[in-house]
Amino acid sequence: MSADFLYGIEVILNGLMAGVLYALVALGFVLIFKASGIFNYAQGVMALFAALTLVGIMEGQVPFSHIINAIFGTKIHHFGWHVPALLAIFLTLCVMVAFAWAVQKFVFRHLVGQEPIILFMATIGLAYFLEGMGDLMWGSDIKTLKVGLPQGGSRWIEDMTSGLGGNDFYGFFIDKLDMVATVVAAILVMSLIAFAQYSKQGRAMRAVADDHQAALSVGISLNFIWVLVWSLAGLVALVAGVMWGAKSGVQFSLSLIALKALPVLMLGGFTSIPGAIVGGLIIGVGEKLFEYTIGGMIGGATENWFAYVLALIFLVFRPQGLFGEKIIERV
Amino acid sequence: MKDSYITPDGRTIGGVLMDMRGITLRFGGVEAIKNISFDIREGEIRAIIGPNGAGKSSMLNVISGFYHPQDGEVWFRGAKRPTMRPYDVARQGIARTFQNIALFEGMSVLDNIMCGRLTHMKTGIFSQAIWHGAAQREEVENREAVERIIDFLEIQAIRKTPVGRLPYGLKKRVELARALAAEPKLLLLDEPMAGMNVEEKEDMSRFILDVNDEFGTTIALIEHDMGVVMDLSDRVVVMDYGRKIGDGTPDEVRGNQEVIDAYLGVAHD
């Protein structure tokens, strides 16, 4: 096997693993969009907020310490304890569920029946509110997230594969964190699909996604389902936030990963869970492969725009995405 | 009226299950329902008829909690019902179908009917999430109940088909199955035979009679086809322009001059 071919495989593997993370963020969008028709611009900020909260809880940071100190003239910043990672993750999840409930109670309950654009604007407001809230609660400095995930390239894989393509090839470089992220994301996605498919609440979720009126008539409370999907989106955001945070530190640019989810959704379709996954993988592999094969010829840095151009092409030729429902209006 | 009686065909009609008292429903300035009172007795088939725009569907929507009347009281099983959301009404044991079919188009027939069982499934979200023993048992029990309904309505062959692919007549039947799956105390059917051909109408009429006969389900239905209504129902309410113009057995209603005028038109001089 030639070295070039093997490098190609390495690029694809890395692309797949990046794609899993894109898919994870896109999944949060799909969950909410399906059940309530709301395009949740705040999904990326939810990931940021979840990661900030997780770090804050683990480090024993005092929330709103800046305000407290300013008002009372104190100088407290830390409780002085450290919370173990698993407990902190659980507590963060509780915060995300509380957030889901509050969003439903104070925002979207009052906007039932409004135009989609109004709902969308509300989520933009929500995004900035949440970003400010994260800043206020936990401070704006870049934090490192140490939940015990492995870091760096896997020596084992590198050693195993080096020399496969002759002396030019030094073995696959695969990030251990990427591997963990892939496994976690895969488990999360499979359990979400199983939950939606086989549980009673999952069935109710699909029912609400399909027809509100009919769902009401069989005794489903729309409010409960909406809180549930926002909570699930919060869970997805937490996982995405942990993975990205562990990779590149918890910083406010984290919320921008939501933008990468947009082309993923256009590819996969806004209403399809498998679509979000396949779309994420295609974009992940596509942008890495494009950079590897063609990027060099046209000056590189194609990863910044490749996904959006691909999405644009899809919008022209297949606006409903790969798996989305084709909408045919009868006249 | 006596508390319970036996119909000519040998069914027992019980006491009052649902009592509508002085219902008035307004949309802005338009009065869709004007001070209407009637009752539905346990075990009977009660029809609501009337020309287009008479307010029949509005009345059904009031019963099922989709509309809230400005005036009047709804009494169900001997107690006054507070203003209720539709899903709470469903949980009280009132199931319904819709005039324009409201099914979950993307889901299979089986899943649609399983949704009708949701009010009977009590396990919480955590035991569902980890697919705990109780959740599993509950799924099996409810699945059995659904299979009985599938047999009853003769839709075994399409149980795995996505509803969106079914023809109109079968969709209507699946919607009936979903409502039946809830084992309702009161079943509301909004034009169950609209848009059907003669054969489909006969099938549907038979199912409605069988449901009433075998499960003793109380049924309130809206229907346009007068022949069907007169054959099916024990008592009929006639509405016109939001008012009640007749109430009684099919024979009584048929002889009512006001009803005849409303349906055939009357010469104004």
Contact A219 B91 (CB under 8 A): yes
Q: What are phi and psi of B239, to 5 degrees?
A: -115, 150
Q: Which of B66, B104, B174 to mutate to test the interface with A (most CBs of A within 10 A)?
A: B104
- Residues forming beta bridges with residue B39, ordered by sequence position: B19
Question: In chain B, pLDDT over 90 holds for what percent of residues?
Answer: 64
HSE of B116, CA atoms in CB hemisphere, 13 A: 29
Confidence band, pLDDT 50/70/90 cuts, at residue A89: very high
For residue B269, pLDDT over 80 is answered with no
Mean pLDDT, all residues of chain A: 86
Confidence of residue A2 (pLDDT cuts 50, 70, 90): confident
DSSP E strands in chain B: the ranges are 5-6, 12-13, 16-27, 30-41, 45-49, 71-76, 79-80, 94-96, 186-190, 218-222, 235-240, 243-248
Nearest partner of A22 among A152, A194, A197, A189, judged by Cα: A189
pLDDT per residue as tens digits for the range B69-102: 999 999 999 899 999 999 999 999 999 999 989 9
Residue A140: what pLDDT?
83
Which of A201, A206, A221 minimises the CB distance to B87?
Answer: A221
- Write down the mean pLDDT value for chain B: 89
Domain ranges of chain A: 34-261
- Token code pair at residue A248: 């590149």
Q: Which range (A13-17, A172-176, B29-33, B94-98) has the least confidence?
A: A172-176
- Cβ–Cβ under 8 Å, residues B196 and B230: no
Best residue in B67, B108, B125 for a mutation probing chain A (most A CBs within 10 Å): B125
Lowest mean pLDDT among A89-103, A165-179, B219-233: A165-179
Contact A28, A270 (CB under 8 A): no
DSSP A261-311: HHHHHHHH-TT-HHHHHHHHHHHHHHHHHHHHHTGGGGTS-GGGTHHHHHH
Q: Count CB atoms within 10 A of the CB of residue B25.
A: 22
Give A112's contacts (C-beta < 8 A, 6+ positions apart): none
- If 0-12 CB within 10 Å is exposed, 13-18 middle and 19+ buried, where does residue B60 land? buried
What is the model's pLDDT at position A221? Answer: 92
Mean pLDDT, to the nearest integer, of A61-86?
Answer: 86
Per-residue pLDDT band for A329 (boundaries 50, 70, 90) equals low
- Residue pointed to by tokens 């079919």: B101
Instruction: Kindly state the average pLDDT of the residues A150-172.
Output: 72
Which whole number is the average pLDDT over B189-209?
91
Residue A264 CB contacts under 8 Å (≥ 6 apart), including other chains:
A22, A23, A25, A26, A276, A279, A280, A283, A307
The pLDDT of residue A91 is 95
- For the residues A105-109, what does the mean pLDDT come to? 91
Examine the pLDDT at B66 and tell me if it is beyond 70: yes
Q: Which residue has the higher pLDDT, B130 or A60?
A: A60
Residue B255: band (very low, low, confident or very high) from pLDDT cuts 50, 70, 90: confident
**C-alpha–C-alpha distance, residues A80 and A13, integer Å:** 42
pLDDT of residue B128: 78
In this model, does residue B259 exceed pLDDT 70?
Answer: yes
User: Tens digits of per-residue pLDDT, A251-286?
Assistant: 888 777 777 888 998 888 888 888 888 999 999 999
Residue B59: count of CB within 10 angstroms of its CB: 28
Two structure tokens written together for A272: 């399809």
Mean pLDDT of B175-183: 95
Q: Which of A187, A199, A208, A218 to mutate to test the interface with B (most CBs of B within 10 A)?
A: A218
- Can you give the pLDDT at residue A17? 86
- pLDDT for A168: 64
Lowest-confidence segment of A61-75, A127-141, A163-177, B232-246 by average pLDDT:
A163-177
| pLDDT for position B224 | 80
pTM of the entire predicted model: 0.85
Helix axes A257-268, A43-59, angle to 10 degrees: 140
> What pLDDT score does B32 carry?
93
d(CA B217, CA B208): 10
Q: Chain A partners of B87 at a C-beta cutoff of 8 Å?
A: 215-216, 219-222
Q: Does the pLDDT of residue A27 top 70, yes or no? A: yes
pLDDT band, very low/low/confident/very high, at A157 (cuts 50, 70, 90): confident
Sorted by where each starts, the structural domains of chain B and their CATH numbers stand as: 1-93+186-269 (3.40.50.300), 104-183 (no CATH)
What is the distance between the alpha carbons of residues B172 and B191, in angstroms, rounded to a whole number?
10
Q: Please give the C-alpha separations between residue B89 and each of A218, A254, B33, B44, in angstroms, as whole numbers.
A: 9, 45, 20, 20
Give the pLDDT score at A256.
75
The answer to whether residue A236 scores a pLDDT higher than 80 is yes
> Is the distance from CB of A267 to CB of A310 less than 8 angstroms?
yes
- Which of A210, A220, A325 is closest, CB to CB, to B87? A220
Does residue B33 contact residue B62 with C-beta atoms inside 8 Å?
Answer: yes
Q: Tell whether A167 lies on the interface with B, counting CB pairs under 8 A.
A: no
Give rounded-to-5 percent helix, strand, coil for chain A.
70, 0, 25
Contacts of B90 in chain A (CB under 8 A): 216-219
Higher pLDDT, A247 or A240: A240
Residue A101 sits at the chain B interface (C-beta within 8 Å): no
Each residue of B101-138: pLDDT tens digit? Answer: 999 998 999 999 999 999 888 877 877 777 777 888 88
Q: How far is CA A296 from CA A13, A289, A290, A300, A308, in A?
A: 20, 11, 9, 5, 19
CA atoms within 13 Å, Cβ hemisphere of B96: 32
The pLDDT assigned to B151 comes to 93
